[in-house]
Structure formats: C-alpha cells, structure tokens
Structure 1
Amino acid sequence: MLPAVNRIRTAPEFSRTVRSGARSGRRNVVLYGSVTSMADSSRFGFIVGKNVGNAVTRNLVKRRLRAAAAVVLLRNPQGLDFVVRALPPSADAGWPELSTDLDKALTAVMKRLTTRDTAAMEGKGS
C-alpha cells in the first residue's frame, strides 16, 4: 500500500495530471505524468475501469500496479504526479509484464517532461 502522502485522491488532481501532463501508452497501461513543486512528494493515482474485468480482477491489477509504483517512488521521490490507467489486456498480464510496461511508460514520460522543461527554460531566457 502506498502511504497517503503518495496518493492522488481527488478528481481535480487526477484531471490536472491527465490534462496537463505528458502521456505514454503501452499494451497494458497508459501513464500520465506532470511536474509539481519539488518540495512535494511524488504521488500516484490509479484508474482501473470495469472494462478491465470484474472486481476481483480489477483489485488484483490495482495491487500489482501499486507495488510497481512503490518501486518507482524510490527512484523519483519528489516533484512528480502520475496517473496510471489500466487497459483491458492488463487483466491477463502478470506482475513482470505490468511492471515492465510501467517502467517503459515512465521512461517515455520522464523524457517528455524533461524536454518540456528544457524548452520552457530556453523560452524564458530569450
């Protein structure tokens, strides 16, 4: 379980991250990421809809994604918000596949966020 400080809970927080952040999709997940204050702890939110499966399946997928997110928090402890949307194929995916998809999506999102920050800093300097 993720500590409360590392969880996105409200609809406006989910919306801000999904709408203003970078996005990367994989077979099992879509990851949205945005930069927050570097003083804030990084946070995760999860969207696992009914199209993934019944309640037992959705909860299993969510538990696996939370465990993968805990590993990500060790590498990126501050300044980022992430929303993970589970896609229907995630119901049949095992732990290694979900973890790998999340890591690859994270790498792509971080690259996009870094590119945006660099472009924004160059725009302010001119």
Structure 2
Amino acid sequence: MLSGRNRMRSSADFSTTVRSGARSGRRNLVLYAAPAPEQRPTAFGFIVSKAVGNAVTRNLVKRRLREFAALSLKDHPEGLCVVVRALPAAAEADFAGLGRDYRKAFSVAVARLRQGGPAGTAGTEKGSDE
C-alpha cells in the first residue's frame, strides 16, 4: 500500500507532472513521470474517470494501480512524481495485463526522463511496443 507521503494530493502537482513529464502510453493506461522538486519522496497520483466504469470498477482499477506503484517504490524511493491515467480498456484488463502495461509504461517514462527527452516523443501512442 502507498503511504500518505507517497500520494499526490494537490491538483497543481497533477498538472505540473502531466504537462512537463515524460509520457508513455499503453492500451490500458497513460503514465506521466516528472522529477520531484528537492529530492522529495516519489509521489503517485491516479486519474480514473467515469469512462472507465462504475464506482466498483474504478475502485478496483485504482487498487490495482496503487499496488503496482507500491512495488515501483522499491526501485525509485525518491525523486519522481508519477501520474497514471487509466483508460477505459483498464476496466476489462486482468491484474497481469494491467501490471504489464504499468511496468512497461513506467520503465519507458523513467528512461525518457533520464535521457532528458521531451514529454511528447514518438512512440507514446496507445499500444506502442517500445
């Protein structure tokens, strides 16, 4: 589970991460990663709209994404702001499929961030196989 210090809560943090972060899209989600100011602990935010499904489905998707984020903290305990936007296809994805998409999107976004590339580089389309 994610602790309070690893959760993104302000809309300004969400906006900054989405606008200035490295982006990686997959079939079930789009992930944005940006450097955290002042080497703060890594923080995660989740966007799961009503387009994903009813409240039960949205909460299931959020719980799964929080679990994947908690596992990511082991390798990246500080220095990142990450926003994960669930796409409607996430409602139908099983745990393993959503996990594959999350891990791939996370690794690509972090690699782009480390390279210093722009946020909207090629290959960020949904379903891209980078």
Q: Please, what TM-score do these two structures have when normalized by structure 2?
A: 0.87
> What is the deviation of 1:37?
3.6
> Are 2:54 and 1:54 aligned?
yes
- Select the structure of larger CA radius of gyration: 1
> What is the deviation of 1:38?
5.6
> What is the deviation of 1:50?
0.3
Aligned partner of 2:108 in structure 1 is 108
Once the two structures are superposed, the pairs formed by residues 41-80 of structure 1 within 5 Å of their partners are 41-80=41-80
1:31–1:101 Cα change, 3 Å: same
Higher relative contact order (CA 8 A, sep 6+): 2
Give aligned pairs, total.
117
Structure 2: unaligned runs, 5 residues or longer? 118-130
> What is the deviation of 1:110?
1.1
Divergent runs of 4+, >3 A? none
Query: Residue 38 of structure 1 contacts residue 78 of structure 1 at CA under 8 Å; is this kept in 2?
Result: no
C-alpha RMSD of matched pairs (Å):
1.1
Once the two structures are superposed, the pairs formed by residues 20-99 of structure 1 within 5 Å of their partners are 20-37=20-37, 39-99=39-99
Aligned partner of 1:6 in structure 2 is 6
Aligned partner of 2:123 in structure 1 is none
